[in-house]
Structure 1
Amino acid sequence: MYRDSTKKGNQQMKSKLVGNTWWKAVVCGMAMATFTGAVGMAEDIEAKPKVTFIGQQGMPVGMPAGMPVPAGDHYTDSSLRAKGEGTENIPNHTYISSREGHFRFAIPWDVQSLTWIDKVVPTDSGHVVGVLLQLDKDVNMMVTRRDNVPPKGVSQEQWNTTWYDQPIQGMTDAEYMEIWRQKNPHTFKKHTVSEGGLLSREDMTAVRWDRFEQPTQDGPYVRFTIDMIMKEDPTHRYLMEVEYDDIHRYDLQTLLHLLDDFVYMENDESKEITPSHRLSEDPSSMHDQLPKELVSGNSMSALDVTTLEGLYHEELVQGKPSKRIQKEIRITDEGITSESTWDDNIITEARILRSGQIGLERK
């Protein structure tokens, strides 16, 4: 699994955008352009207070030291991340799709950051494609597609429809666990609680699940896995894995229902999927490009996207008090989009792409 690398991975996923004043200038300018258009924007910028980059650290590429940039009246010196430190108790809907992984799924939880996965490992899993999501502190979710190669002399059909050579058709959960304990007792020695079984879905040849609790120096943690083989894609396995350190955080039924919102995308559907982050041509949709040193590559902070959206909304209403009442996050291979509804009836959208493009839009 990925627990051993969690702390290191979380550090790597920390945004490079923290403390960068460039955001304030961009959001301010985009918000003003939404109101006034390009012509009025120049006058509005002159009317705004300015901050000055004293040194080169954290500066956009090509911007000389000492160059003044506009910042909104209500901004403080706090970083972009600091604006989003408070936890919002609002409905969250997160939708993730992977064109290369041939899947899409939805979760009822917020996402803090993510890493796109595309690598070849020296195990039976072979080529692994998908996403690693940090949902909260010490809560991670990984969804991947990986190779499913049967041992030499075993057919694909037999491999997919048996559990340690026993047919899974009609197998009970108790029988499933007993066979596992007999054939692989080492797996159970390090766990205090072990449970698992088989599920069924019409479009799947096999679905198995397991939940393990394991004591560690930092306290107990839970690892939950759903392992799927699609009828339309017998040579691959699809795994949804969740790790968390609070054994009471999720009940079993909530985790099992993750299967309901997992969808396999066939080749044609995967190729034709339209990126949800396509930059709109509408005049109210403003675009910009991240400085090169801020482009994050395979990792990105979803929190930065929602915080950027919050700054944009703050500029639109000129600092008037308002709250986000609903949020939807969409994640694809291209990047992250956040769409929010506010209690002042404004709907905003912010997106940051892996290419470095950003977009802000009032809907």
Structure 2
Amino acid sequence: MTKVIEEEFSFPVEFADETCDLRGFIFRPAELDDEARKLPPVVFNSGFTGGVSMYGQLVGKALAGRGYRVTTYDVSGFFTNKGVRNTTKTGAQTVTNVSLEDQKTELLALIDWTRAHFGRMPAVASWAMGSVASLAAITELARSGTEQVPFYVPMSYTKLSALQGLRADRVAADAALKALDDDAAIPPFDTGTEATKLGYYPLDPATQAYVDVQLGGYTDVGGVDHWPGCSYVTAKSYKSYIAFDPEAELASVSGTFPPALIIHGKQNTLHMPAESERLYSVYPGEKGENALIIDGMEHGQQLQVDNPVFQSLISAIDDAIRTHSA
């Protein structure tokens, strides 16, 4: 079995208003054989607050076990990068701003760092809201005409406005959240209770227990705050993420888009498979015969090392990258 090495590093990110260093992690095989040397490195970015403290460590180790060098990180304001940016104290409350625009900028910076460190452009694999941020990143690369990533793997992609259909009263919640001051503190999640019905991220009932139990376990292992890594988020987070829609820009960008493997769980009730099927229909790059809709896969419940669904997911990503890097 391949021995996997974990290393920590930092990389600079030039935001519109400041430059920050973010903490990142590399998962790599202890030794590279000739076949592994032909593989591109992989940048992985995850969903809400995500990165190494969530699926990054899981996917990173799994791909490193197959010969890849994987970089990943926690988005600014969360977990290992909690104090860097987007976090403020309001009295006794710690309030975090969730910015997909920042995530796009961070991902582009990590792509640059990974290319410089490993000597070639990395593939990008991403999860859920991270897939939206990564779509924005590769769209920006296409628009600018700079070097494009060699392969793109969005998993559980969802146009963020579609998530609002999970709320008990979508229209009332949207109006109430938009009426709040930008800096107002709201719960991270809307789970349909009086205390959380104006939360930032709506969860379907089937996903609520999984979020705390399974993802909490990942972050505990990582030695950082128990999921979700924040107590409150800003109302501005909701307003900005509803408006963040890189999919709407695809038709107007004429640059080069990488080949893609678009993946979704067939039983996902949080991010619906129809979302990835729609992305497949409008994505302008090579994308195979169809989106890969995996039977038996929910949102992330099967993302565990020994689960056969997870193993098939990693195999599909590995096969696709190798096919396009030969």
TM normalised by structure 1 equals 0.24
Q: In terms of Rg, which structure is larger?
A: 1
- Counting strand residues as a fraction of each chain, which structure ranks higher? 1
Using CA pairs below 8 Å that are at least 6 residues apart, which structure has the higher relative contact order? Answer: 1
More helix by share: 2
